Amino acid sequence: MSQDKKEVPVLIVGAGPCGVTIANLLGSYGIETLLIDRSPAILDFPRAVGLDDEALRTFQAAGLAEDMLRDMIQNVPMRMYTAAKQCFAEILPSTREFGWCRRNLFSQPLGEATLRKGLARYPHVEMALGVELLSLVQDEHGVDATLRQADGSLSTVRAQYLVASDGARSTVREGILKVPYEGKTHSHKWVVIECEDDPLDAPYTALHCEPRRPYVCLRLPYGLRRWEFMLFPGEDGDQMLTPEKVQMLLSHHVEHPERLKVIRARVYTHNSRVAKDFVVGRVCLAGDTAHITPPWIGQGLNAGLRDAFNLAWKLAWIVRGRMKPELLASYHDERHAHAQAMIDLADLFGSVLSQRNRLVAWLRDRFFLSIKNIPKVRDYVLQMKFKPMPRFVKGVVLNSGHAARDDLVGRMFIQPVVEQISGEPRKLDDVIGGCFALVSWRCNPLAQMSPALAEQLRLLKCDQFVAVRARSSAWEVNRCTGEAPMVNLIQDTDNLLNAWFQARGVDWVLIRPDRFVAAAGLAASAPEQLTEFCRTVVR
């Protein structure tokens, strides 16, 4: 057996949607990357179906949002039904504050194929399938990984950093690093069934809270329909996948279930678990390797994609020598608590919606039916305001000590439509690009910055943008920019930047590559705050 050795800045183990998204982002940042997976092909299982606005913003950063949308159904409502089949809540968020719809459905095998195709854009990113990680050893400078190739031969890869996105039964987390996977495994299993030629006219996701057998029913792209049924104690999972049992489960919901063309059926166990550490030396855990969530609020894959966006730019900035290596630990600081919060919310939803005690279910239904016409409650549910949004209080952020301004820090920035002086309307992220961006409202807070700060911002790879009202006069533009030649001008086409800055009482924000606010403040304090941020971040 040969022992070839290869060196690469980043090695990713696991080519599921999280790992492939990280590889695409690293490719866009110009980082040489090796992505491996022991499976030779995409798994054709019924898996994730929902993508939120944050996920689409991640794909937008990777240049793949429009490609992914071609196989999606956007803006899909979710309904919740009582035991008596009354709809007690319908979730259809109208907000697009991050530039995309909040509820979108897709078929994961199709989405994975699109993400893998995206890697072909980058000659510096290699995907090797049928390759298995056998072991790894890390030191203060990098990681040595022993791989078994598809032909059985062994090879060694020397990487500066390794990302483990190899699933809930991760070889890296479980078998090598021995990182605790804390949480619980739920007692009830679920049968997931997908069929072609959708027999129902129900263009929404429905959660049926029926004690007789709780189930989920939803429409997917290209005429696919999915059902998810709870199994009861004593029901054998393998036996429930036989054609007779599948037809029995479907017989209460469609006519002639024997005529349905079932293309996928699988039994799943729901888990609520979080790895104790997301960063171990030079190894980072992402996606299901780091956390696994019950499917009730559709956040399992979305949580993994948040990992991808948060981690990819940090690896790129560290590898490029732009950011201090010790700040890799901020990936754990910024993602761990929010991943746990999403799991807790999913557990709460599951306990409420899958209730089998008929009396408790009746009381639950009466409560939800009684509050659904209260405007504030209805808006809270309809706009998905119950979903905890990420907010980083420590990590790659700078707090100024002013409570109201610091409340903006560590939150995702809005994405309105803007225009440059000569150009078509575009989403903000497409204009400011994939690096740091200093966005100010009708002022140039760095008109008099020192050469030292200018150099630090250059090392950070930060561009400056001054936003003005749409169709401003040349005189007003010059007044706002200070006639600085290096400032990029953007026009507030949707009038949303104006509303955002005015409501929050700040003049500028520093936006990270993952679109979170790293710092915010008034024009007069910008040089001091940005100097301090660069001091703590720039290598």
What local confidence, expressed as pLDDT, does residue 350 receive? 84
User: How many angstroms separate the CA atoms of 175 and 38, rounded?
Assistant: 15
Query: Which residue carries 């040349």 as its tokens?
Result: 474
Q: Is 139 helix (H, G, I), strand (E, B) or coil?
A: coil
In the chain, what are the helix, strand and coil shares in percent, each to the nearest 5?
35, 30, 35
Give 10-residue mean pLDDT values along the chain (539 residues). 76 98 98 97 88 97 97 93 89 87 93 97 98 96 96 96 97 96 91 93 92 93 94 89 92 90 91 97 98 85 96 98 97 96 88 86 87 75 68 92 92 96 90 97 92 96 94 83 76 95 96 98 96 96
User: How many angstroms separate the CA atoms of 508 and 502, rounded?
Assistant: 11
Q: Return phi, psi of residue 180, to 5°.
A: -60, 140
User: How many angstroms separate the CA atoms of 413 and 386, rounded?
Assistant: 19
Q: Is 410 helix (H, G, I), strand (E, B) or coil?
A: coil
User: pTM score > 0.85 for this model?
Assistant: yes
What local confidence, expressed as pLDDT, does residue 2 receive? 45
Burial of 452 (0-12, 13-18, 19+ CB in 10 A): exposed
Burial per residue of 339-365, b for 16 or more beta-carbon CB atoms within 10 angstroms, e otherwise: bbbbbebbbebbebbbbeeeeebeebb
Closest CA to 232 of 102, 101, 356: 356
